[in-house]
Amino acid sequence: MINKTIEKALNEQINNEIFSAYLYLSMSAHSTYLGLKGFANWFMIQYQEEMEHAMKFYDYINDRGGKVILLTVKQPEGEFDSPLDMFQKTLAHEQFITKCINDLVDLAIEQKDHATQILLQWFVTEQIEEEGNDNEIIAKLQLIGENGNGLLMLDKELSTRIYTPPTKGE
């Protein structure tokens, strides 16, 4: 059985993850509007991955006999100055999520909840990858600057990202 303090914190994290999904779906729509299909593909996959993250917490609360409570999801930003602006905002958001995950780990340690600590280890590792991917794309966008050909080449590269559904237990 999960304790109420952990249950409440994990329900808030479901909301953070669904907001992440919503933000990246908004960025995907904005990219499509700009004609950048590769960027749209990258953000759409990011949206799918964030929904998976939300569902990991959802399943975990249920598995531990807790109660999932879905909270209001705030409206994401819909206008962005440039592809670089989208990725800088993505990185800033992921840094916020990393802080949320670290705070949850601290809480699970404080509450002596070992099972939740194990669940959260997956997210600690995932956040390293998420921030790393964003940093890499930001570096490329900074090199590209105002070069339209460079942007189209990166768009082509981002179009190759493929969504891999999680296998059971992942």
32, 54, 128, 159, 161 from 36: Cα distances, Å: 6, 27, 27, 9, 14
| Distance, CA of 51 to CA of 46 (rounded, Å) | 9
| Minimum distance from residue 46 beta carbon to ligand OFO (Å) | 7
- Binding residues for ligand OFO (CB under 6 A): 17, 20, 50, 53, 94, 97, 123, 126, 130
Q: How far is the CB of 33 from ligand OFO (least distance, A)?
A: 23
Closer CB to ligand OFO, 35 or 129, in the complex: 129
> What's the closest the beta carbon of residue 131 comes to ligand OFO, in angstroms?
9
Taking the least distance from each CB to ligand OFO, the nearer of 7 and 130 is 130
Rounded CA-CA distance 118/105 in Å is: 9
- Is 12 or 126 the residue whose CB approaches ligand OFO more closely? 126
* CA-CA-CA-CA torsion sign (130, 135, 140, 141): positive
How far apart are CB 58 and ligand OFO at their closest, in Å? 13
Q: Which is nearer to ligand OFO, 69 or 128 (CB)?
A: 128
Q: From CA 39, how far away is CA 152, in angstroms rounded?
A: 10
